[in-house]
Amino acid sequence: MTNHKLNTGRRRFLKTGAATAMALSAPAILRAEGTGAIRVGMPTILSGVVSILGESSVAGAKLVFDEFNASGGLDGRKIELITRDSRAKPEEAAKAVRDLVNGDGCNIILDAEASSGSFAVQEVIKSIGALCLHTVSEATPLSADPALHAPTAFRSARQGIHDAIGGGAYAAAVAKEKGLKRWATCSPDYAYGRTTTAEFMEYAKYFNSDIEVIGQAWPKLFQPDYTEVITRILQWRPDALYSALWGGDLVSFIDQANLYALFDQTETFSVNLGDYPVLTAVEQLPNGMRSGSRYNKVVPNTPENNAFYDAYVAKFGTLPTNWSWENATAATFVIEALKDVGTDDPVKLAEAIRGRTIASPFGVDGTLTMRAEDHTLTGYAVGYGVTTAEEPFMKDFHTSSWEQILELEADWKKRQGFA
């Protein structure tokens, strides 16, 4: 009797244990299917010098997902956003994606990594086939180069060549009007800085053949002191300066260049100055500095964009960044695709996103399109304006023509061997 009880108890224990072990050892991807939450993974930079990139990326996506969940989700299934800190290391970003897909059951990845990380993530996506939207990287080849193409990967971020064409046309017009012939550049010494600068100057010269680049400075990323760079630029005596510096580096550069009155002596075009965190951090913003479009409440100045800004500030207590709208856009594409296909199957979702047009507060005409041919975003606000120290921080914004951008982009792709 006692032995029987013991045997029964042992068998029950073994059965329960085996069942638990099986449940725990089943791939997370299987557990996530069915009626559970739809898991969306986000590798991003949540610590260190550019942690604001990660925080505002998460916030942008969360704003959209929370609203979707509050309205009932996908037939009751909520979206769960799982984030991983890559610490700005490409190898960590690639590992995080594998963990998110294989360990956490994420079929959908919002890759909020800087360019170097995004290229690493793209390689992982090619091999594991999850749906991926690159939400931060602006490096043009990521989506333009057919050799890097992945059927389930898209870009919801700006693309460098779009800003270069729009910015180049604007700069050329200002240069003609003000007689700015001698140009210098000052951009961070890595892939983004070099390609963005080369593309901008290429199109500035395309639209105005009088423009001549007389000197180029390439400070290191996160360099604390720009004195030697600033004095070098002063020696060149340029009429105009283009810079692709961004974030804290741009704040330091402006603070230090102010001491030399650099901006009184040159017309400055700083593509990344228009981001709120930079504009609000610079205590003495020089008059008349021009910036490319990043995110601004009044660009485009529509009730929908104003509403996004207000909702973001109310929810997070901080101002949205360029990364915020790019991630909010990715989240919207994911939701629209989920509604269409009713499942988080990556291949079906990719099919639903390819060529899709969504209503968006960030579109020049109120819509954004994920171009089918190269999986990249079009229709967002591209252009330049003059920055101001007070809200709305931008005036005289000139919106670039997408017709012109698309025409010249096609030509550029041919020359690069991408089309």
H/E stretch holding 21 reads helix 2-25
CB of 234 to other proteins, least distance (A): 6
- Closer Cβ to other proteins, 243 or 376, answer by number: 243
Q: Which of residues 162-221 bind other proteins (CB under 8 A)?
A: 217-218, 220
Q: Which of residues 273-312 bind other proteins (CB under 8 A)?
A: 277-278, 280-284
Number of residues that bind other proteins (CB under 8 A): 42
Going by the DSSP 8-state scheme, the letter that residue 151 receives in this structure is: T
CB of 359 to other proteins, least distance (A): 30
User: Any bridge partners for residue 110, and if so which?
Assistant: 133
- Closer Cβ to other proteins, 58 or 405, answer by number: 58
By CB under 8 A, tell whether 47 contacts other proteins: yes
By CB under 8 A, tell whether 336 contacts other proteins: no
What CA–CA distance (Å, rounded) separates 259 from 78? 52
Going by the DSSP 8-state scheme, the letter that residue 99 receives in this structure is: I
CA distances from 207 to 164, 172, 409, 417 (A): 12, 6, 14, 22
Q: Are 38 and 338 in contact (CB under 8 A)?
A: yes
Binding residue for other proteins (CB under 8 A) from 76, 224, 303, 417?
A: 224
Q: Which of residues 310-329 bind other proteins (CB under 8 A)?
A: 318
By CB under 8 A, tell whether 255 contacts other proteins: yes
Give the strand pairing for 357-359 and 367-370. Answer: antiparallel
Interface with other proteins by CB under 8 A: which range of 15-23, 152-160, 248-256, 336-344?
248-256
By CB under 8 A, tell whether 7 contacts other proteins: no
22, two tokens: 């099986």
By CB under 8 A, tell whether 365 contacts other proteins: no
CB of 229 to other proteins, least distance (A): 6
What CA–CA distance (Å, rounded) separates 81 from 69? 11
CB of 50 to other proteins, least distance (A): 7
Can you say how many angstroms the Cα of residue 160 is from the centroid of all Cα atoms in its chain?
A: 11
CB of 258 to other proteins, least distance (A): 7
User: Any bridge partners for residue 39, and if so which?
Assistant: 80
Gyration radius of the chain's alpha carbons? 24
CB of 59 to other proteins, least distance (A): 11
Which position has the token pair 């102010």?
258
Binding residue for other proteins (CB under 8 A) from 91, 210, 225, 391?
A: 225
What CA–CA distance (Å, rounded) separates 164 from 202? 8
Q: Is the peptide bond before 392 cis (omega within 30 degrees of 0)?
A: yes
Q: Where along the sequence are the contacts to other proteins (CB under 8 A)?
A: 47-52, 54-55, 217-218, 220, 222-225, 227-232, 234-235, 247-249, 251-252, 255-256, 258-261, 277-278, 280-284, 318
